[in-house]
Amino acid sequence: MEATSLQGHYAVRFASPAIIAELADPDLLYGVVDYLIHPPSGHGAPRPRRGLAIGLLIVFSFLLLTLTASYIRVLSTILLNPGYLPRGNQWAELQANNPECEEEKRKRKRGRDRERTPQRDTIAQWSRSVGPENGKVEKSPYPIDAYGLESFYCKDVFVCEQDGRPRWCSTCCQWKTDRAHHGSEVDRCVRKLDHFCPWVGGVICENSFKFFIQFLFYAFLFTTFSVIVLAIFIAERRRNVRVLSTFQFPVLSSN
């Protein structure tokens, strides 16, 4: 499932820049600037307003630059530093010992097979056998012995189970740090997982949350500016001409 999932996420990542391209459609800006510099003759149209056109171009370019920069920052963070917890060494052994487990995971994720099978029972039993209850995680990044759990026990406070040990992920064969959750979309444990965002093609978590908020803020400014400018000049055009052209409706609705 990991290979299929990664292929899907990479496809979304490469397709998601189309969002910026759609928002920054030059035809929309060209329509407004052309209307200001070359106003239609008659019908009480105003004189050319080149200064206003230049001002709109400057503001539009600045907002587009900040939006694009924040978007690239989010994409690069998700791609290069997604915030995944490392899998335990037992995870590779689980995949090697159970060649059919990938197909079983796909069925479970799609919800097409809700019944338990002997294969799933075997996987579950194996996961429990390498879990903290049986002390077979010595090679895990956070092994069960006192030395391995020192990274948790030296903290003033950490999230733990009733037995006092950190939470255990049987899928990743790994101890979970505070606020770490297993994301079904990426099949990995993620630090401070917030949600999976298809617009950026990855999970929003501890490493990317700040840049994602910045992207949302600049996207709000950019789209608000575009909608207000288009609405003002389409309303002005409607007052002068009384009838909107068929081109002006999709221009406003596209934003």
CA distance 137 to 173: 8
Find out whether 90 and 137 touch, Cβ atoms under 8 Å: yes
- Per-residue pLDDT for 144 more than 70? no
Q: Which two tokens stand for residue 91?
A: 């995870």
- Per-residue pLDDT for 78 more than 70? yes
- Per-residue pLDDT for 67 more than 80? yes
Burial environment of residue 189 by CB neighbours within 10 A (0 to 12, 13 to 18, 19 or more) = buried
CA distance 255 to 251: 7
Nearest to 31 by CA among 206, 211, 225, 251: 251
Give the pLDDT band of residue 79 (cuts 50, 70, 90). confident
- Per-residue pLDDT for 18 more than 90? no
Cβ partners under 8 Å of residue 90, min gap 6: 130, 136, 137, 139, 140, 173
- Which residue matches tokens 């999970």? 203
Interval 204-229: pLDDT, tens? 888 888 888 999 999 999 889 888 88
Pure H helices in the chain: 2-15, 18-23, 26-37, 50-80, 89-97, 101-110, 118-129, 150-153, 209-241, 248-253
- Per-residue pLDDT for 85 more than 50? yes
CA distance 222 to 63: 6
Q: Considering the chain, what is the average pLDDT of its residues?
A: 65
Interval 41-59: pLDDT, tens? 655 556 777 777 788 888 8
Cβ partners under 8 Å of residue 1, min gap 6: 102, 105, 106, 109, 187
- SS3 for 86-138 is CCCHHHHHHHHHCCCHHHHHHHHHHCCCCCCCHHHHHHHHHHHHCCHHHCCCC
Beta strand 181-183 pairing with 202-204 = unpaired
Give the pLDDT band of residue 148 (cuts 50, 70, 90). very low
What percent of the chain clears pLDDT 70, i.e. is strictly above it? 41
Q: Which two tokens stand for residue 125?
A: 């039993």
CA distance 57 to 96: 58
pLDDT at 114: 47
